[in-house]
């Protein structure tokens, strides 16, 4: 097969994203020798891995985290979500820009910025990248005790992040913020990658459809190359209901957070999201487009703080002068 010329830079990714270049497998295998077993020439003669092999994808993630973010010890339990790192990084860079827009165009860097990752998962990817890139402190919440245990194991094994990331179990799955945020606790932003599907059947059908398109075959088995269990991939009502519930609950924490945000994968869900945000009387709503390869997604962010309250927040938390 004739070698296909591919763009050297993934222009759809955020300019600060470390993964805009094609994967440098030589450098990655030097950082993480275990990856070498999965690297081989693809049909175009380029070094690559089999992205349909969950073990290969996990080995690639380990290498990326070690090479780019200095995380030496990272693993997840079998069957748990092993997310594509470039897209996760993109969310954080875009949300950092949103914070900067609220801060006179200046990026907010440092541990005085605190972020809540709703549904952190067993992989702890968002807090790792956010802390390494911007120095933010993180709370990661999840309803799954196994995910929380896995996240804590990752954090405790890496001194670089061990003091900066806290994992909290949401013991009541009816709530998102209640029981996670402590009385009087303030955070500067929330992020969330909500469960995409509304049922296990729908999740499996979506996986089969994706694999069929990628492999150009009619018969494929629903093997999740990026893994994912029920809590991570689907919930009753899917993305639309999850985000709607989150918006309604966020109103009760309107003075506890500057920007709430969520990834919205399905464009069809935007109408419901905007309608709900209008109902809860959000002061400001931002929609941030994201493009990753052939996939188009977006972040929706909202705040309940008035301009005067935003100014006070910035004075108290972002522009606080150090004590002499």
State pLDDT tens for residues 134-156.
999 999 999 999 999 999 999 99
Check residue 173 and report its DSSP letter. Answer: T
pTM of the model: 0.87
303 burial class (0-12, 13-18, 19+ CB within 10 angstroms)? buried
Rg (CA), the chain: 20
Q: Tokens standing for 56?
A: 């290969």
Q: pLDDT of 183-232, one tens digit each?
A: 999 999 999 999 864 445 544 444 444 444 445 455 444 445 445 444 54
- Torsions phi, psi of 264, nearest 5? -120, 105
pLDDT at 10: 84
| Residue 238, Cβ density class (10 Å: 0-12 exposed, 13-18 middle, ≥19 buried) | buried
**pLDDT tens digits for 21-48?**
999 999 999 999 999 999 999 888 889 9
Between 212 and 320, the higher pLDDT residue:
320
Higher-pLDDT residue of 297 and 210 is 297
């Amino acid at each position: 097969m004739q070698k296909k010329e591919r763009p050297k830079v993934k222009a759809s990714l955020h300019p600060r994203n470390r993964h805009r270049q094609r994967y440098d497998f030589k450098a990655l295998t030097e950082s993480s020798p275990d990856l070498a077993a999965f690297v081989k020439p693809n049909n175009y003669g380029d070094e690559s891995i089999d992205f349909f092999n969950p073990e290969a994808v996990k080995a690639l993630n380990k290498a990326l985290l070690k090479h780019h973010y200095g995380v030496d010890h990272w693993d997840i339990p079998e069957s748990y979500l092993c997310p594509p790192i470039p897209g996760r990084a993109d969310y954080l860079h875009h949300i950092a820009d949103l914070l900067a827009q609220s801060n006179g165009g200046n990026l907010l860097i440092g541990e005085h910025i605190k972020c809540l990752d709703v549904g952190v998962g067993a992989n702890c990817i968002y807090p790792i990248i956010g802390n390494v890139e911007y120095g933010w402190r993180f709370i990661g919440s999840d309803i799954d005790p196994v995910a929380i245990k896995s996240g804590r194991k990752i954090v405790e094994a890496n001194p670089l992040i061990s003091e900066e990331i806290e994992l909290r179990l949401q013991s009541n799955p009816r709530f998102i913020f209640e029981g996670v945020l402590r009385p009087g606790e303030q955070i500067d932003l929330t992020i969330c990658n909500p469960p995409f599907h509304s049922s296990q059947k729908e999740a499996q059908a979506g996986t089969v459809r994706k694999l069929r398109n990628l492999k150009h075959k009619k018969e494929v088995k629903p093997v999740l190359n990026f893994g994912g269990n029920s809590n991570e991939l689907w919930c009753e009502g899917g993305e639309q209901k999850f985000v709607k519930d989150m918006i309604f609950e966020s109103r009760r924490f309107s003075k506890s957070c500057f920007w709430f945000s969520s990834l919205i994968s399905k464009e069809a869900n935007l109408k419901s999201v905007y309608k709900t945000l209008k109902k809860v009387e959000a002061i400001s709503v931002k929609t941030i487009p994201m493009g990753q390869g052939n996939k188009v997604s977006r972040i929706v962010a909202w705040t309940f703080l008035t301009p005067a309250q935003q100014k006070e927040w910035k004075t108290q938390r972002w522009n606080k002068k150090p004590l002499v």
